[in-house]
Amino acid sequence: MRSKFVPYDPVEDVNKAPQCAMQFVIAEKEEFFDNKDHALKAFERFAGTKKLVVIPNITHYGIYFKAHQQAQKLAIEWFDKYLKP
């Protein structure tokens, strides 16, 4: 069975939605990917409205648990400012 993620490359595809404001919320202590090669590179390449938030002293899954309320608040504020109809 072929993976559906094989053709997915967010760094290369980031500008496929230039009209959509993007907020990048990343874990400072990301352990699965090098932020420089992934999130930060995608952020730098994106030509549209953007914001980068690095949550300090948090790991990949920490954003979903320990920093969940902070990440959720950031997402709601971003949605209300740029994406809400």
pTM of the entire structure? Answer: 0.84
The predicted-structure confidence for 23-56, as pLDDT tens digits, reads as follows: 999 999 999 989 999 999 999 999 999 999 999 9
pLDDT value at residue 53? 98
The answer to whether the beta carbons of residues 45 and 15 sit under 8 Å apart is yes
The full set of domain ranges for the chain reads 17-83
Give the DSSP letter of residue 5: T
Q: How many CB atoms lie within 10 A of CB 34?
A: 11
Q: How many CB atoms lie within 10 A of CB 55?
A: 19
Q: How far apart are CA 21 and CA 67, in angstroms?
A: 22
pLDDT, average across residues 48-77: 96
pLDDT value at residue 29? 97
Share of the chain above pLDDT 90, in %: 76
pLDDT, average across residues 10-22: 90
pLDDT value at residue 85? 83
- Is the confidence at residue 6, as pLDDT, over 70? no
